Amino acid sequence: MQIKMGSDPVFKDRIVVANQTPARKYMLLLTSSAIVIGIISAILYFVPIMSMWDTPDETASTNITTDTKSSFTKPSQTVMPPLKPVEVAKQPANFVEKPPATEHASGMPIAPTKPVDNKSATTTTEPPKASTETTVAESSPTDNKPVETSTTTPVATPTPPPVPSDPIADLVNKAQKQIERTRLTTPEGDNAFETYQALEKISPTEAEKVREQIISRYLEQSKRAVERGRITVSGGAYEMYRKLGEIAPDHKETQGLMDAMLNALQKRASVQMQKGDLLSPEANNAYATYQEIITIYPSSEMAKVLLQDLLKALVSKGDQQVIQRKYLTPEGDNAYASYSKVLEISPKNKKAEEGIKNIVKQYQIHATTKQKQGDYKASLSYIDAGLQLNPTDKTLLELRKKAEAKLKR
């Protein structure tokens, strides 16, 4: 094959193949033209898609593609602001999610929405996939509107109403606590008896049970007080007896408590009389016991008998002290003190009056004896002691004049 250089000024450097026919020349020309047209078409197709990567919405991409086809120039790129992370709202515990509405208010169907991925919300959105169609369809006006979804307001679970309290049970429990703390009738405003009175208005049966418990507690405490000899002292058995009289005057145990107190006092008085503890020691003698008896039971026959026995014992004691010549001394243990106590208890007691007269008479005898012995000074001491008991005694006054006259000489 012979290769010749072409003489065409445009294609002067082309290689000319020998023996080429006109048909081959036209075929080669058409093939080259098709290749050039394909390259240009590819450039026109891919340039708009590349610009769509930087376009935020589909409408802008369509406009850019259309402009690109017409002008063969790449539009200016716009920078989309970074998206903020989607905050997922916390739902209440009792919130029930309902399926989204499948139909728009206008009657058009709504495509089901997919759950939002929180991770993808913080990253840059991927560019839309390129469409193989060269024609751009006009979007419907309703496609750009936000999809309306139905939301349900969480409904709070109603709190059940409080269970109403039982006033009877409340008062019974309150009374039980007050009894356990020994708040039976005091202090005012917080004691079991006042609670019993309030309970009696709405439930007499339960109130009676509370009253029996109060009575039982008072009886228990009063019995212990009697055993310890605490009868009339503060907080003693008699004070509890009086409280029982206010709460349950007709209760059988109330009278039994009185009998127990009287028996305890009688035994104590008997022991004191036998020991001779008639007036002393203080607060623990027969006379103090007698006072306790008349305090709790003034009309007690036992108290009357005890008093008579006490008076006889005091007179007898005074007579014995006269024999021992304990007329005015020692203090607290002399005949005059014994007789005076009898008259204090029984002002018209004749034996006590006679006992004091006997003491005066003894002073007369001793004063006369001393004058006969010539001891007028000693005689005056007996006379003065006797006049303390009876300042108007004529015998002692005469003996005094005689002794003073003798001493002046």
342 vs 145 pLDDT, higher one: 342
Q: Any idea where the domains of the chain sit in the sequence?
A: 1-75, 166-307, 321-409
Identify the band that residue 151 occupies on the pLDDT scale cut at 50, 70 and 90. Answer: low
18 vs 21 pLDDT, higher one: 21
CB of 185 closer than 8 Å to CB of 211: no
What is the percent of the chain with per-residue pLDDT over 70, rounded to a whole number? 67
Determine if the peptide bond prior to 109 is cis (ω within 30°): no
Task: Decide yes or no: CATH 1.10.3470 for domain 321-409.
Answer: no
What is the percent of the chain with per-residue pLDDT over 90, rounded to a whole number? 51
Q: Please say if the pLDDT value at position 62 is more than 80.
A: no
Average pLDDT over residues 72-98: 51
**CA atoms of 241 and 258, how far apart (whole Å):** 7
Of the candidate ranges 86-100, 211-225, 229-243, the one whose mean pLDDT is the lowest: 86-100
1 vs 310 pLDDT, higher one: 310
CB of 246 closer than 8 Å to CB of 208: no
pTM of the model: 0.53
Q: Please say if the pLDDT value at position 328 is more than 60.
A: yes
pLDDT tens profile 233-253: 998 999 999 999 888 888 888
Q: Please say if the pLDDT value at position 58 is more than 90.
A: no
- pLDDT value of position 335: 94
Average pLDDT over residues 392-406: 92
- pLDDT value of position 57: 47
- pLDDT value of position 52: 56
- pLDDT value of position 93: 53
**CA atoms of 398 and 383, how far apart (whole Å):** 10
- pLDDT value of position 59: 45
Average pLDDT over residues 198-214: 94
- pLDDT value of position 19: 53
Average pLDDT over residues 205-217: 94
Q: H-helix or E-strand containing 312?
A: helix 301-323
Report residue 331: phi and psi, to 5°. -65, 130
Q: If DSSP codes are grouped into helix, strand and coil, which group holds residue 109?
A: strand
CB of 342 closer than 8 Å to CB of 318: yes
